[in-house]
Structure 1
């Protein structure tokens, strides 16, 4: 979601590979994946505005929510493989994740106080709206070296996520419920090698991926009547949704498998070559942080309620297309440059001069 993938992420290649050289080209595949994923994020956030009364819209909403954030997290993990806690990496983690979190957490709190909750307190430990992802990214990134030294990191992370899903009360501080439940996807991304992504891009796999989505649509349409969306948000435990821990664990496991399949299918269908939108992959941080103001602002001001047309089938299509267009604009290099003092500030005055030691000479 940044000039690499997310704020604070340096997209150097495998841990065993040498440091990148100056001028090394970006992999268009990951820029394409980031851009397409951020479009799904925006659509997933705007659909609730018009989801009532339309089972088809709810189906699309549920399907998008089933894999869009897991895909984002997995890509973040893969592009975090070089993180070892070097001074330059810590510096970028602070400027690319912590600073945007501090700034936009205050901004979103002000928005919420204006539009919905005048008494909402300022609390950096209770992320507002979209901000949970930045604080989760910080936690995952800091723990990246740990997952490279233990045995069976993926099963361990899955076990942690499963235990979190049946542990009530975890979402009280820094959204820990989501941090832990999405953790397996980050670790899977960390452990994936380039050949795994090459396998996903093989023609037979891409055909299978298209068939997966073709089958997922009718299945999701059928499932909308019996599955609550809270399962996809991963904000509360199974018990807090009225399900005992052992059937809750089964549901969480089934959801994890389905999500992983859909995520793999999405990654298989991402174009590998450079496209017109490839350049937008470096500006996804701006699209992510800014689009929430438009959606929440529209809700709080009553904008969506003023136009009943938006609740019609044609209106829903119009709203989705408009959202895609606006998100595309928010990811453009112009917006990226304007927002860089906030999303990727240098802050040289805040760091020791030797904090750059060990920094790779190229920046993705």
Structure 2
């Protein structure tokens, strides 16, 4: 099997590789499937207030879609100390787009709501993941120095929930919460488990059937005890954003709940990866541009969420499939070339003026911040 050639956004600046390698479509397929679930989750969120079916669906994939995304991002990250060009790419690929889109959200809220409180320390809506990617890369070289980095990441995630001052400021609570998944992705690549165990090629029918069964059980549990999950606000637990006390769990063993959710997220992520197509399809290439979809889809959904059109939307059997279909269409449209051409200065700014040495921004390729290496478009 050919290598999956993991790359970080900075790898394109470390010099040409000695031997080109075949691109593995599995990773692009997985990225795109994840981003479709992100759009779908944000789209049906307003339906969950009035529809138990929508809430069950929401819980079913919120249990794993961001953990899976974090695993992919970790797999395509390196733990070596960054050089100057790699550090510059963190600024241009993550920090500058974060500031740009925070300013856009401030203008959007002012235009539609009549007020706005610009605050770069409090990420707007989906922007928390950009900061998380930056922080992940900052801490990974230090975690990699330690013995048992996975265990330390797990202790940090579970322990952070006990600290009420670890909150949404700079998305720290979510970043620490999802840290084990990111470190797991890096650890899998670091030990070359994908190639050694043929994890992409090995997919017998019984393994796929088991993955389907896992999702069937997941859906059954989400639906059959929907009243319980609503009463404990399970959806907010999946955000990894609040302390245990804020979630109403003040017992000493509350961290065990997060540990259980991490195990569930890992199990469902594995089932998800098993079911991801291995071959190249017409939509595979869109997996290279997930950050466009991630950053832009919230502006598309914002009018629908705030207008109230999705509240009391009945009958559910019409509205829910319609929203699902529209979510897929939005995820496709925002990854197309015309959209990328228009929004590239915002999503992928070069920001040469920002650096004392403009050569730090030079490079033959552009990458998605989740690690997808791709040719630079003209």
TM-score bracket for the superposition, by shorter chain length: 0.7 to 0.9
**Which residue is equivalent to 2:209?**
207
**Partners of 2:23 and 2:79 in 1: CA distance:** 15
**Which residue is equivalent to 1:256?**
262
**Partners of 1:57 and 1:300 in 2: CA distance:** 18
> Which runs of no fewer than 5 residues in structure 1 stay unpaired?
13-17
Query: What's the TM-score once normalised by structure 2's chain length?
Result: 0.85
Q: CA 1:83/1:324 → structure 2, altered by over 3 Å: closer, same or farther?
A: farther
Q: CA 1:290/1:317 → structure 2, altered by over 3 Å: closer, same or farther?
A: same
**Partners of 1:201 and 1:237 in 2: CA distance:** 40
The reply to whether residue 33 of structure 1 matches residue 30 of structure 2 is yes
**Partners of 1:236 and 1:129 in 2: CA distance:** 15
Aligned-residue offset at 1:303:
4.2
**Partners of 1:301 and 1:215 in 2: CA distance:** 35
**Which residue is equivalent to 1:15?**
none
Q: CA 1:164/1:186 → structure 2, altered by over 3 Å: closer, same or farther?
A: same
**Which residue is equivalent to 2:285?**
279
Aligned-residue offset at 1:268:
1.4
Q: CA 1:23/1:341 → structure 2, altered by over 3 Å: closer, same or farther?
A: farther
**Partners of 2:142 and 2:16 in 1: CA distance:** 21
**Which residue is equivalent to 1:44?**
41
- Does structure 2 conserve the Cα–Cα contact (< 8 Å) formed by 1:84 and 1:145? yes
Q: How large is the Cα RMSD of the aligned pairs?
A: 2.8
Aligned-residue offset at 1:19:
6.6
**Which residue is equivalent to 2:85?**
88
- Does structure 1 conserve the Cα–Cα contact (< 8 Å) formed by 2:109 and 2:115? no
- Does structure 1 conserve the Cα–Cα contact (< 8 Å) formed by 2:109 and 2:116? yes
SS in 2 for 1:171: coil
> Which runs of no fewer than 5 residues in structure 2 stay unpaired?
368-372, 374-378
Q: CA 1:360/1:69 → structure 2, altered by over 3 Å: closer, same or farther?
A: same
**Partners of 1:20 and 1:59 in 2: CA distance:** 46
**Which residue is equivalent to 1:161?**
157
1:148 to 130, 144, 148: 144
**Partners of 2:351 and 2:22 in 1: CA distance:** 26
SS in 1 for 2:38: helix
Aligned-residue offset at 1:158:
0.3
- Does structure 2 conserve the Cα–Cα contact (< 8 Å) formed by 1:95 and 1:344? yes
SS in 2 for 1:240: coil
The reply to whether residue 109 of structure 1 matches residue 98 of structure 2 is no
**Which residue is equivalent to 2:351?**
347
**Which residue is equivalent to 1:196?**
194
Equivalent residues, number: 353
Aligned-residue offset at 1:23:
5.3
**Partners of 1:302 and 1:51 in 2: CA distance:** 13
